[in-house]
Structure 1
Amino acid sequence: MSTDKKIVLVTGGNTGLGYEIIKALYASPHAYALIIGTRTVSNGDAAITKLQSEVPTPGGASTLSVVQIDIASDQSIEAAVASIASSHGRIDSLINNAGANFDTDVRDGKVGLREGFNASWDVNVSGTHVLTTHAIPLLLKSTDARLMFLTSGTSSIAETMPENWGNMYMLPRINASPPAGWPKPPPMHPLTTYRSTKAGLNMLMREWARILKEDGIKVWAVSPGFLATGLAGTGVDVLRKMGALEPHVGGEFVRDVVEGKYDSQAGLVIRAEQPQPW
């Protein structure tokens, strides 16, 4: 069970940003035991096949495996953590990447407002908190434990204020007020629920940083940038036209956090360039 390879669990690791995180670590010269957390094992197996075709020679003799985990299910979380405890004995880096955005489903009438809002919090905050709680004993067995929460640039409360927009062209787009009257015209890319949950996730990160301070576990909320991942069903080509970066940029950023580049910024919400304003 004991291994010199750093053991990394990435939830939502079979697609989007999670896949790019796994890929960046797999290509790294460092050796990892990479665990792809996915709701459907067959999707994780397909991701491994794809990874091995795109990176035929892992940089550091890293290994790939899959664990079934649905962070909206306590039973699934408990079974996944027990499986990792049995197969690996510890976790060196827990990357809480799995998330969801139900804003467009609410806008399009597919789910009710309360249902969509609660589902977003359940996945993005509650499920992440439950998983982290169950995984702490395995992180405590690491000599270099790292805990990451994948947040969003839209979660910054400070940047909702016009005086803080500066030359960041996306901030007016998501923070400008609509015309007077009711009902308001639906925005093309609604974010109210999503960004609220990610702001909550930032506070959750601060709580875990406080709780684990004396245990030596480094904690971050990682804001990977505006990426063309197709979250909430928005086409990647549409996102690219809006200025989204390719997903591998976010994957490489998270890899750098795992490998120590941002250790001096532990306890913060971090962007690749600088800490993100609260």
Structure 2
Amino acid sequence: MDRPVVFITGANTGLGLETVKALFQSPKSYTILLGARNKEKADAAVQQLRAEFPQSATVVAPVQVDLENDLSIERAFGFVVERYGRVDVLINNAVNNPGGQFDPQVDSADLTMREMWNKSWDTNTTGTQVLTHTFVPLLLKSLDPRLLFITSGTSTLTESGNLTLRMNQSPAKGWPKTSPSISAYRASKTGMNMLMREWTRILRNDEVKTWCVSPGFLATGLGGNAERNKRMGAIDPATGANLVRDVVEGARDRDVGKVVRRDGVQPW
């Protein structure tokens, strides 16, 4: 296979699906492994893409993978080993599908606070670590291995004191606090940034290029409400997807080991 093999998790919706579309629209061609927790949704997304890009030299195939289930990750690994033998680009995006932000589920009483925090870290950080660790041997078979983690602008410690940003503003005095919180999501994304730095260290001598990509506030279903996000100023997810494609295709190679965003490098 001459086409680079790209495995992207959480790719049946939101930023993941838009990233696959961006790769389909590239002058380059790829073999894209579209990862999704639900097999039927992965199949539906693949059929949608094939219908939308019928003349493309890029090919896409579904892969069922659940970051909260080690057996699911092992099965996905076995499938990719058998069918493709390597991965050239691993894009850890599953945490950015609508299920990646669980904070609102405490207010709705769907999860206790402990359940929500544990789930946030299990999906956004621990699951990402397990999947990456499992698939690294396939990355090492590539001639140009690339490892991407999709992070968030909410994860930066440096900019957390910028009170002009809504996410950094304090609620009114008193208890209980009624303003929305994404504390678990932010913390787990900051943890992911360090996870990327660790993989940068671990794989430096293997010449694997690593990044976190901060795509901006996108009008996706993250947090469960795309329309609300749009009203709050969220941008077209295709804009974030184009940034991910730029990283895949080498436009940000000068920023290896950093958190990249459209206007430069995001501070820690």
Q: State the TM-score, normalized to the length of structure 2.
A: 0.96
Q: 2:18, 2:238 within 8 Å by CA — same for their partners in 1?
A: yes
CA–CA separation in structure 1 for the residues paired with 2:179 and 2:171:
10
Deviation at 1:31, TM superposition (A): 1.3
Matches within 5 A, 1:113-262: 113-162=113-162, 171=165, 173-187=166-180, 190-234=181-225, 236-262=226-252
User: 1:131-183: CA deviations, max 9, x gaps?
Assistant: 00010100000000000000000001111113xx6xxx5x2x11011222111
CA–CA separation in structure 2 for the residues paired with 1:186 and 1:241:
17
Report SS of the residue matched to 2:175. coil
Unpaired runs of at least 5, structure 2: none
Alignment match, 1:55: 53
Residue identity in the other structure for 2:266: Q
Residue identity in the other structure for 2:263: E
Deviation at 1:246, TM superposition (A): 0.8
Deviation at 1:27, TM superposition (A): 1.7
CA–CA separation in structure 1 for the residues paired with 2:46 and 2:61:
8
Are 1:76 and 2:72 counterparts?
A: yes
Alignment match, 1:94: 90
User: 1:196-235: CA deviations, max 9, x gaps?
Assistant: 100000000000001011100000000011100111212x
Residue identity in the other structure for 1:184: K
Report SS of the residue matched to 2:238. helix
Are 1:12 and 2:10 counterparts?
A: yes
Superposed CA RMSD in Å reads: 1.1
Report SS of the residue matched to 1:132. helix
**Percentage of matched positions with identical amino acids:** 49
CA–CA separation in structure 2 for the residues paired with 1:149 and 1:213:
16
CA–CA separation in structure 2 for the residues paired with 1:185 and 1:68:
38
Following TM superposition, the consecutive aligned residue runs of length 4 or more in structure 1 with deviations greater than 4 angstroms are none
Unpaired runs of at least 5, structure 1: none
CA–CA separation in structure 2 for the residues paired with 1:160 and 1:123:
23
Q: State the TM-score, normalized to the length of structure 1.
A: 0.93
- Of 37, 43, 46, which aligns to 1:45? 43
CA–CA separation in structure 2 for the residues paired with 1:196 and 1:255:
26
Q: 2:171, 2:179 within 8 Å by CA — same for their partners in 1?
A: no
Aligned length: 264
CA–CA separation in structure 2 for the residues paired with 1:272 and 1:159:
16
